[in-house]
């Protein structure tokens, strides 16, 4: 594999030379082709010039210069460059300030070798460590973690904001960097969340996060604000779909019961037949509303009629669930009126319906890869 260690820098002249040398030392222990890509945002302290010197002498050291737009923006540019220009198979994210130990790089690579797509150098699993931080710094870090886990549903991941990670290029291509919506430090959460949505094989390995000795942190209030807005936007986005689905479901209930009433009470159709007929009518109205409204923004390549068929198929599964419930309630438990049994049957059916439709019928098609990357 060709692996590129991407190091974003802004005013890291005290650290960058030592880090490049320390990494070259570690690369000797790794059997892959290792590269270093420093993404420097025109640091006024001359970090870029130092790196340029190294890149002249060392074939595996590269410099990408740009304007300061934030840590996330720097990583997006760096990843694009690593994939498109350097043809990397995997990238490693790492800070320039020695808070991440160069000795841990081979361990990240081993985890990739063992089959993971996304390896997190984690501070919050047994064996991982944070420095003796002030209460407020600790609160910022653990608060950010707890909040992002709760908002995104990534409960199984303990360090969602970590900046020391190894990621396969195939996965980044699947995610598509256009889906990254943030500029600052919340990039870390955003990229991880996209990987999570793509069902990537994510693994945490414990690392010790050291104290910064030279230079200073660049995290700003803007980053905190952006992270806050970002995680709550995800939360809303996630529940918005569900709320819409539930609203559509409720409209379907009206259709369902209305049709059932007309067939059963007015036309005297047998309840065993009236029940599925009423459901099928509501399936059609539900499909139209879900397709154009609930999941209207999802980009799928699936044709309208295929989605319609899938939706119907899912609905038949749900119909089975609903009808079985109906029969059980009316025939076994003798529940009356029949409308109540018909109504209760909708509840288990809705859960089955939501999950199958969200993950199958209206599943977002993965975007075309930026580049094959091999
Ligand atoms: N190119 C570029 N542009 N680099 C930047 C920028 C930017 O706007 N902002 C920061 N960097 C570089 C720094 O020079 C450093 O190499 C690295 O990004 C991390 O910056 P720090 O300022 O040292 O971050 P930190 O120690 O506060 O945060 C670390 O821990 C966080 C979790 O607690 C990082 O690893 C974060 O990614 C992580 O989320
Ligand atoms: Mn740092």
User: From atom 21 of ligand 1, which residue's Cα is the shortest distance away?
Assistant: 217
Per the prediction, the chain carries an average pLDDT of 92
- Relative to beta strand 202-206, strand 90-93 is unpaired
pLDDT 10s digits, 84-95: 999 999 999 999
pLDDT 10s digits, 267-322: 999 999 999 899 889 989 999 999 999 999 888 888 999 999 999 999 889 889 88
d(CA 329, ligand 2 centre) in Å: 61
* Mean pLDDT score, 198-222: 93
Whose atoms come closest to the Cα of 163: which ligand? 1
Cα of first residue to Cα of last residue in the chain, in angstroms, is 9
d(CA 366, ligand 1 centre) in Å: 30
User: From atom 8 of ligand 1, which residue's Cα is the shortest distance away?
Assistant: 70
d(CA 350, ligand 1 centre) in Å: 44
State residue 241's pLDDT score. Answer: 86
> Does 328 sit in the ligand 1 pocket, CB within 6 Å?
no
State residue 151's pLDDT score. Answer: 81
d(CA 212, ligand 2 centre) in Å: 6
State residue 27's pLDDT score. Answer: 98
Which residues are CB-neighbours of 252 under 8 A, at least 6 positions away? 282, 283, 285, 286
Question: Per the structure block, which two tokens stand in for 52?
Answer: 């340029």
pLDDT higher for 255 or 322?
A: 255
Of the candidates 257, 282, 284, 285, the one whose C-alpha atom is nearest the C-alpha of residue 271 is 257
Chain-centre distance for alpha carbon 321: 31
Whose atoms come closest to the Cα of 63: which ligand? 1
State residue 372's pLDDT score. Answer: 40
Measured over the CA atoms of residue 97, residue 100, residue 106 and residue 110, the dihedral's sign is negative
Q: Mind listing the domains of the chain with CATH numbers?
A: 2-237 (3.90.550.10), 239-361 (no CATH)
pLDDT 10s digits, 66-87: 999 999 999 999 999 999 999 9
């Amino acid at each position: 594999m060709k692996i590129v260690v991407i190091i974003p820098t802004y005013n890291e002249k005290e650290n960058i030379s030592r880090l490049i040398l320390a990494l070259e030392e570690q690369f000797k222990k790794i059997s892959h082709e290792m590269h270093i890509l420093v993404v420097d945002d025109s640091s006024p302290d001359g970090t870029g010039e130092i790196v340029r010197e190294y890149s002249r002498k060392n074939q595996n050291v590269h410099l990408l210069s740009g304007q300061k737009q934030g840590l996330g923006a720097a990583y997006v540019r760096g990843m694009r460059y690593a994939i498109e220009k350097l043809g990397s198979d995997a990238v490693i994210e790492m800070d320039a300030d020695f808070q991440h130990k160069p000795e841990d790089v081979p361990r990240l690579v081993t985890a990739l070798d063992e089959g993971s797509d996304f390896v997190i150098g984690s501070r919050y699993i047994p064996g991982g460590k944070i420095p003796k931080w002030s209460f407020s710094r600790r609160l910022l870090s653990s608060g950010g973690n707890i909040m992002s886990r709760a908002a995104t549903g990534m409960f199984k991941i303990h360090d969602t904001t970590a900046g020391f990670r190894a990621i396969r290029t195939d996965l980044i291509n699947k995610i598509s960097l256009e889906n990254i919506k943030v500029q600052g430090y919340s990039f870390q959460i955003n990229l991880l969340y996209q990987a999570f949505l793509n069902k990537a094989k994510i693994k945490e390995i414990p690392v010790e996060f050291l104290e910064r000795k030279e230079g200073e942190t660049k995290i700003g209030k803007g980053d905190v604000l952006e992270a806050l807005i970002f995680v709550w936007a995800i939360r809303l986005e996630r529940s918005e779909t569900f709320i819409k689905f539930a609203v559509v479901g409720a409209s379907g209930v009206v259709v369902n019961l209305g049709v059932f009433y007309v067939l059963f009470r007015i036309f005297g159709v047998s309840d065993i037949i009236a029940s599925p007929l009423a459901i099928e009518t509501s399936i059609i109205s539900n499909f139209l509303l879900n397709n154009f409204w609930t999941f209207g923004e999802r980009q799928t390549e699936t044709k309208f009629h295929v989605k319609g068929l899938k939706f119907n198929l899912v609905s038949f599964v749900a119909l089975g669930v609903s009808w079985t419930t109906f029969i059980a309630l009316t025939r076994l438990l003798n529940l009356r009126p029949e409308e109540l049994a018909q109504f209760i049957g909708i509840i288990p059916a809705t859960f089955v319906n939501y999950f199958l439709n969200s993950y199958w019928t209206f599943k977002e098609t993965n975007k075309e890869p930026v580049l094959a990357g091999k």
